[in-house]
Chain A
Amino acid sequence: MTDALPPHDGEDRPLAGEYVLGVLDAHERAEAQARIAAEPAFARAVEWWEGRLAHLAERIPPIEPPAAVWPRIANLIGAATQKPSTWNNVRLWQGASAGALALAAASIVALVVTPRPAPPPAVAPAKPPPAVAEVALITDPATKQPALVATLDHAAGKLILTPVSMKMPAGREAELWIIPEGQKAISLGIVPSDAPKAIALPAGLTGAGTYTALLAITDEPPGGAPTGVATGQVRAAGKFVAQTE
């Protein structure tokens, strides 16, 4: 490296400023992001630079994004006016391979064996008891194609993951995250793209809070995000829908 300054000159290298400016390569960026998570002093230095350099963005002209972007976001956060039932969601599976689709459908059918009681009255004195199983369709936000079907089985304490159509960039693996409402993302590990997998529910995710949890898949380096914090792009996301039929 033909570097005019020594590579590890500590205080002389304004690493937080370099990070915020955006000149670090992928490897150095990942290191800096790990330090932000681990070192409050470094995180404060980054915030300081962000507060100063962000003013440069005023020179960048605003450009109206396409009208389709907001509805996608609203859908992903569950703000859509009509909450589709699980079976309506099945229509979204069109385009998935027949085998994977059958597998995914079978895993849901197996869970919808007991008719659920009628929905509680509008002013319920207490929360209804949790459903036996819940299903989340984890869909690619761009194509709306399901990447993965996750079925949450409270009775068995398992999360059953059935890949439908999971496309990852070369050299990247799919890591699944659960984001309980108002909490940080918790890694559920790497998921295979070609075979179903059942995993134990992490402690603390067995209660009713899981109804509102968001599941998301990011692409990560082989073996998963090194620091336990997602580093890749969100490739698919979806929420649980309680089985009420």
Chain B
Amino acid sequence: MDADTSRALLSRAIARVANRDSDALKYVYRHTSAKLFGVCLRILNDREEAEDVLQDVYLTVWNKADKFDAEKASPITWLVSLARNRAIDRLRARGARGGSAATAGVEEAEALPDGAPLASTLIEDEDDRRRLEGCLDQLDPKHAGAVRTAFFDGVTYEALANMLSVPLGTMKSWIRRSLISLRACLEA
């Protein structure tokens, strides 16, 4: 199955979820849950919390599938964004309770084995991906590294500055300048 076909199937399944078709949600879950669990686990570093968030994500898909617009976004982009947002919100809530496990166990998470990759469903538009990589490569390597770490770990400016041993103001300036450069590069 090529990427366009699997993307179309996933989009159609989400459209069926909007009509309260639980089999369609099961299809979406079967083809995307390993990816989304990987994303949540990377941010939360806690299996139980990642499971909670994963469950919450698919309940949100169940309730908000009508908000997905296949013309505007790829289904996997929509799902990954949803999962990242929920995981980051959970991470921030944990921070507010005084916990600071945010950066612990990063290496451990990286060492986790691959699950079933289900690559056919998850291959994004290869041109878009290459374009992003190309634009990231134009940044100062340290800045590009900070952008990637921020995305993978979902940590605040402050935590990011601590992790990479850079003053907070410098980190904000790196990321903001990187985003402005990326926007210009990606829009070009």
Write the residues of chain A forming the contact surface with B, with a CB cutoff of 8 angstroms. 1-5, 12-14, 17-18, 20-26, 29, 47, 50-66, 69-70, 72-74, 76-79, 141-142, 169-171, 179, 181-182, 185, 214, 219, 231-234, 237
Q: Are B180 and A61 in contact (CB under 8 A)?
A: no
Q: Are B93 and A233 in contact (CB under 8 A)?
A: yes
Q: Which residues of chain B from 54 to 93 have any CB-CB distance to chain A below 8 Å in the complex?
A: 54-56, 58-59, 62-63, 66, 72-74, 76-78, 80-81, 84, 88-90, 92-93
With A4-B169, A22-B151, A23-B157 already in contact, the answer to whether A61 and B25 are too (CB < 8 A) is no
A236 to chain B, nearest CB (A): 12
CA distance A214 to B53 in the complex (A): 18
What per-residue 1/0 map shows which CB atoms of B164-188 lie under 8 Å from chain A?
0001111011011001101100100
Q: A50-B77, A62-B122, A73-B55 are in contact. List 10 more A-B contacts (CB 8 A).
A: A17-B179, A21-B175, A23-B175, A25-B158, A51-B77, A62-B35, A62-B116, A62-B118, A73-B25, A77-B22
Q: Are B39 and A57 in contact (CB under 8 A)?
A: yes
Q: Which residues of B contact A29 (CB under 8 A)?
A: 88-89, 92
Q: Which residues of B contact A237 (CB under 8 A)?
A: 59
Q: Which residues of B contact A24 (CB under 8 A)?
A: 156-157
With A62-B34, A77-B62 already in contact, the answer to whether A233 and B52 are too (CB < 8 A) is yes
Q: Which residues of B contact A13 (CB under 8 A)?
A: 176
Q: Are A47 and B73 in contact (CB under 8 A)?
A: yes
A213 to chain B, nearest CB (A): 11
How many residues does chain B have at the interface if contact means C-beta atoms less than 8 Å apart? 84
B109 to chain A, nearest CB (A): 9
* B13 within 8 A of partner (CB): no
CA distance A198 to B53 in the complex (A): 31
CA distance A142 to B169 in the complex (A): 40
Q: Can you sample 8 A-B contacts with CB below 8 Å?
A: A5-B172, A18-B175, A57-B151, A58-B129, A59-B152, A60-B42, A61-B38, A66-B47
A87 to chain B, nearest CB (A): 24
Q: Are A25 and B156 in contact (CB under 8 A)?
A: yes
Q: Are B151 and A17 in contact (CB under 8 A)?
A: no
* B128 within 8 A of partner (CB): yes
Q: Are A22 and B84 in contact (CB under 8 A)?
A: yes
Q: Are B172 and A63 in contact (CB under 8 A)?
A: no
CA distance A61 to B116 in the complex (A): 9
CA distance A234 to B55 in the complex (A): 10
Q: Are B124 and A73 in contact (CB under 8 A)?
A: no
Q: Which residues of A contact B156 (CB under 8 A)?
A: 23-25
